[in-house]
Amino acid sequence: MKPRCRVNGCANARAGHSLLCSKHRSRKRRHGHEEQRTISKTDLRPFIDKVQARITKQPDAKLWSICDQRWDMLTAQWRAELPKTIYRYVRAGTKELVRLANTVSGREVAVTVIAMYLLQDHDPRLFKNEIGFRTQLVRRVRTLSSTSFSHWSGASDGRERRAIKELEPRTVEYLSGLLVELFGPAGVRVAQLERREEEEQRKERLVYYEALSEVE
Ligand SMILES: [Zn+2]
């Protein structure tokens, strides 16, 4: 009997020399981990809203304009000239970032990255490991631009279909490194603030309920 895929509950046979079946092997390649689920737009929405609310509350905070500037500086430099390197993933990654910068604003990217940090802080179990997190981070940022998809029609229902253009895992890793370097510290800070505020609200509610129980 051929050995089974190492994923719990998967009855498929292993593919080639892999410990995984072909389905899980390709999931690992595309999502950074064989059991990493896709983080959807809907999953991220409430956290995007939280970041946007924070920006609205304090629109002049330097952090937001610094995020914009960091993005503009990096992408402008590469738009003028892509780095000369022998590494294919670096070329592919920088090209991808410039392509993104042509269709989305640095602010949108920053908000998405910060929201991903909030989501991770809120529910760390959504991410199988750091690579899983970073792969989903890149995916959410790339989906901001319709140019990240290939479109085709001709399905039996006549509707247009689209699928994200896959990048090499090494390119995704490089790209995630750039995004984390650009906006990771902002993500960590905003996640800290969110957590602190939630904790304060919880305490206030507690005081309120205690006060209620004291009244006779
Ligand atoms: Zn499997």
CA gap 107, 121 in Å, rounded? 21
CA gap 4, 98 in Å, rounded? 43
CA–chain centroid gap for 118, Å, is: 11
Q: What is the pLDDT of residues 117-129, one digit of tens each?
A: 999 999 999 999 9
Q: How many whole angstroms from 20 Cα to the centroid of ligand 1?
A: 5
pLDDT at 96 over 80: yes
| Domain residue ranges of the chain, discontinuous segments joined by + | 1-35, 47-214
Tell me the two tokens of residue 3. Answer: 């050995």
Nearest residue to 139 (alpha-carbon basis) of 36, 26, 69: 36
Q: How many whole angstroms from 19 Cα to the centroid of ligand 1?
A: 9
Q: How many whole angstroms from 27 Cα to the centroid of ligand 1?
A: 9
What pTM does this model have?
0.91
Q: How many whole angstroms from 26 Cα to the centroid of ligand 1?
A: 10
pLDDT mean over 30-57? 96
Contact 177, 131 (CB under 8 A): no
Res 113: pLDDT: 98
pLDDT at 130 over 90: yes
Q: How many whole angstroms from 17 Cα to the centroid of ligand 1?
A: 13
Q: What are the residues whose beta carbon lies below 5 Å from ligand 1 (ion)?
A: 5, 7, 10, 12, 21, 24
CA gap 58, 64 in Å, rounded? 9
